[in-house]
Chain A
Amino acid sequence: MFNLGHYRFADKQEDEEVIAIIHRHWFNILQNLFLVFIMLLLLFGSYAVLPALFPILTATDYQRLLVFFESLFAMLIWILFFLIWVDYYFDVWIVTSKRIVNIAQRGLFSREVSEVELDKIQDISAEVLGIIPTFLNYGDVLIQTAAEKEKFVFRKIADPYTTKDLIMGLEKRSLQRAENNKAKTEAEAITAALGNTNKP
């Protein structure tokens, strides 16, 4: 089990323990990075092929021009790579001992944070659809809630069945804790009432 004590996010309560930080499966970022790989191939390919195809490019001035444009292209690839990485890394589900926080990052200018308390969860299901997801064991976990946001979806996460079991276990623990608290409050109320009756 990883030590997640160092993880911090907005509104984290003092007595709240981070149980799991869930990102999309690595295959998803690999799919998104496909364009970057193609661009990298073009970059290195052009450096090797273009001077052979156009001998004029071996002249100092033109060679400098070619390297300048390739450098510009490398800057574009670098920014694109990080934009994809930001989209992947900040799109996260945080499972704590009290709730699930869903942070949906879409590009640089769209970020949505929603949360559901564990005792508001009504139903959880997990699904793995397709050949590659089955082979690599990734898929969706759908959570039906009684909260304002009715559906929570963990998209394309690794090992969805284990995540589902984890959340179900936490939900049961949370309900148990709520029942114990309720019983304790009732017992205290009865004790207080009895104490009042026994007074002369």
Chain B
Amino acid sequence: MLSLLISTLYLTVLFIYVLASAFIIYHLIRYSAASEMKTLMLILFIAVSAGLLFSNLLLFFSIDWDAMLYKLIP
């Protein structure tokens, strides 16, 4: 039950993260005045954001949440 709650919380955090990233990408594409800066910032933002998201997902799924919660809340 608790692991389900954690999964739901995590999904919410991920949703907010992806939504904020999408808005930032939209601003970069829509409002950038200089094309070189736009490309550079888009590449940097997408690469780092995706890297962070991917590594975080890997870490989340590498944890046995049921066992962890059992240890933390016996």
Complex interface residues of chain B between 6 and 49 (CB less than 8 A to chain A): 13, 17, 20-21, 23-24, 27-28, 31, 33-36, 45, 48-49
Number of A-B pairs whose CB atoms are under 8 Å? Answer: 63
A8 at the interface (CB under 8 A from B): yes
Report the interface size class on chain B. Answer: 20 to 34
| Distance, CA A105 to CA B26, complexed state (A) | 14
Interface pair A82/B68, CB less than 8 Å apart: no
Interface pair A64/B27, CB less than 8 Å apart: no
- The chain B residue with its CB closest to the CB of A72 is B56
Interface flags for A80-95 (1: CB within 8 Å of B; 0: not) read: 0011001000101010
Interface centre among B27, B36, B71 (most CB of A within 10 A): B27
Task: Specify which of B34, B56, B59, B63 is in contact with A6 (CB 8 Å cutoff).
Answer: B34
Q: Taking beta carbons and an 8 Å cutoff, which residues of B are in contact with A? A: 13, 17, 20-21, 23-24, 27-28, 31, 33-36, 45, 48-49, 52-53, 55-56, 59-60, 62-64, 67-68, 71
